[in-house]
Amino acid sequence: MPYAVIKSGGKQFVVQEGQTITVPSIQAEAGSSVELPALLTSSDGAKIGTPLLEARVSATVLEHGRKQKMIVFKKKRRKQYKRTIGHRQGYSTVRIDSIG
């Protein structure tokens, strides 16, 4: 089955057609179609881009959301310094429609 390596939100993902993945937030409405840049495809022999290929991976945005809160705790011993910060990363769930 052909696969591709895509780039989204500064991260890389290995995907196949019909697969559902969670990527960092995409600025598109749920139900709309988006094109993601491909770094590598393997439909008929591996093709590697420098840095990107002309081939695009089309996907459909299924939903948007936010992950669980991560607690960032900073401390310096013997200095009475403590900081607690929370962070919630936004994400988008997409379904890969076609590679090409």
| Torsions phi, psi for 12 (to 5 deg) | -115, 140
Question: What is the average per-residue pLDDT within 4-11?
Answer: 94
DSSP string, 20-46: EEEEE--SS-TT-EEEEEEEEE-SSS-
Write out the residue range of the structural domain in which residue 81 sits. Answer: 3-99
Q: Average pLDDT over the chain, rounded to whole?
A: 94
Question: What is the average per-residue pLDDT within 59-64?
Answer: 97
Domain count, the chain: 1
Higher pLDDT, 55 or 78: 78
